[in-house]
Structures are given as C-alpha cells and as structure tokens.
Amino acid sequence: MTKPLIVVNFKTYASASGEAAQLLLEAMEAQSEGPATFVAVASAFDLAPLSQASTHVEVWSQHLDPVGLGGFTGWLEPTTALARGAVGSIINHAEHKVSLEHVEQLLSMLPEGFPVCACAADVHEARALAALNPTYIAVEPPELIGGDISVTTADPSIVSDTVAAVKAVNPKVRVLCGAGVKNGRDVAKALELGAEGVLLASGVTKAKDVDSVLADLVALL
C-alpha cells in the first residue's frame, strides 16, 4: 500500500531557505524511514543543493512555466529545473495562481512519470484540474492557509467533496489537502476524509522544534 504523502512547501521563508533549507531537509530525512513519504518543495534557488543532499526525500519545484529554453526572462523553465534536481512540482498554489491553460501546457511538456501537484481553492477548481490529469490535486481554501485552524476541522466537507469530485472525473488522480495542517491529528483526519496526504508549510517551516513537529505529523499513521 502506498504511504501517505506529506508535502512540505518551503516557500521563501527565511527558516526554509539557503542553509536553513538544508537543515530542514535533514530533519525530514530523519523521518523518511517512517510511515509517510516526505516531499520538500524548494525555492528554485535551493533545488540543486537540496537535491544533491537528499537521499530519501523527494525535492520538488514550487512552480514551473510552460516555456522552453530561449527569451523567457524571469520564467521557470522546466528542463533547467529538472537538470537542477527537481523530481516533481506543485503548480497553481494560492500564492501563485495560473490559468488552466498554463497547467495543461506545462503537463504536456514534462516527462512521463514526473509528478505534478495542482493546487485548488475549492471543489469546482479541483474538478476542472482533474480533467487535465495531474498526478495530485491539493485542495487548499486560501482563507485558511497559514492559519491556526486546519481545513480538516474548519471545513471537512471540502476535503471529502473534493475527493469524490476528483475521483468521478479521473480516478487516477490522488487528492491531498492543505491549509492550516499542523499536527498528526490533522493528518489522520485528512486520511479519514479520503485524502491520500497533506500539503503544508508554516506548521513545519516556522516550528521552533522541527524534529518534534515532523515526528508528530506521522505519529497516528
């Protein structure tokens, strides 16, 4: 049986960038033999050093653009990200929204088997993204991102409804949930609601004791 997925978005937090990102990755590596699969979603600037240091934790990009090598100043070109060690990516995060066309074009450019997690704000957007056949869809109500209340507590129906909607469109797509996820109870509840993992950020990246938080996230699995 596939392990639940715990995807940690490093964003551009000072506590998850540069040397701090390396320390965070080391803490995640220490939990990688446990009951969950950990993924580090890194800044483009940290892709190479983190991917070189990682042995068990997958390192993903925080965003990619459907462009090739050429005159595309400021865009994140996929083949360069792959060459720097990215083995997956998230797309359409609430803090970096893109169009469905962007997602569709990007998916068509990526190699087979390269995992992409498309983020959705609600069931409607998740349903539309499912038709594009990403590997994962993470439902994250934007008003709960970075907050103290998990989506699994504030709005559990959006998780179960998203799972049902996505599976109805495309049974192959795996559903994650995020926004406010902080502890093992949140992870366990997400799985109970039908999700196959979680996407979180500040609950880990801003933690005073990262090792304890990571251990707690998997404590009830």
* pLDDT at residue 168, as a whole number: 98
- Residue 1 reports pLDDT greater than 60: no
User: What does the alpha-carbon distance between residue 109 and residue 103 come to, in Å, rounded to a whole number?
Assistant: 10
Catalytic residue among 58, 63, 125, 140: 140
Q: Reply yes or no on whether 140 is catalytic.
A: yes
Task: Look at the chain and report how many structural domains it folds into.
Answer: 1
**How much is the CA Rg of the chain, to the nearest whole Å?**
16
User: How many CA within 13 A on the CB side of residue 138?
Assistant: 27
Please report the pLDDT score of residue 82 as a whole number. Answer: 98
Question: Mean pLDDT, the chain, as a whole number?
Answer: 96
Q: Residue 215: its pLDDT value, please?
A: 97
* Angle in degrees, 0-180, between the axes of helices 210-217 and 19-30, rounded to the nearest 10: 40
Rounded to whole angstroms, the Cα distance separating 211 from 203 reads 12
Q: Is 93 an annotated catalytic residue?
A: yes
Planar angle of CA 32, 41, 88, nearest 5 degrees: 90
Check which CATH number belongs to the domain holding 110 and give it. 3.20.20.70
Render pLDDT for 37-79 as a digit per residue (tens, 0 to 9). 999 999 999 999 999 999 999 999 999 999 999 999 999 999 9
How far is 29 from 133, CA to CA, in rounded Å? 29
Of the pLDDT bands very low, low, confident and very high (cuts 50, 70, 90), residue 18 is very high
Short-list 214, 219, 160, 165, CA closest to 6: 214
- pLDDT over 90 at 152, yes or no: no
Which residue of the set 56, 93, 124, 143 is catalytic?
Answer: 93
The whole domain housing 91 covers 5-217
pLDDT tens sequence across 78-107: 999 999 999 999 999 999 999 999 999 999
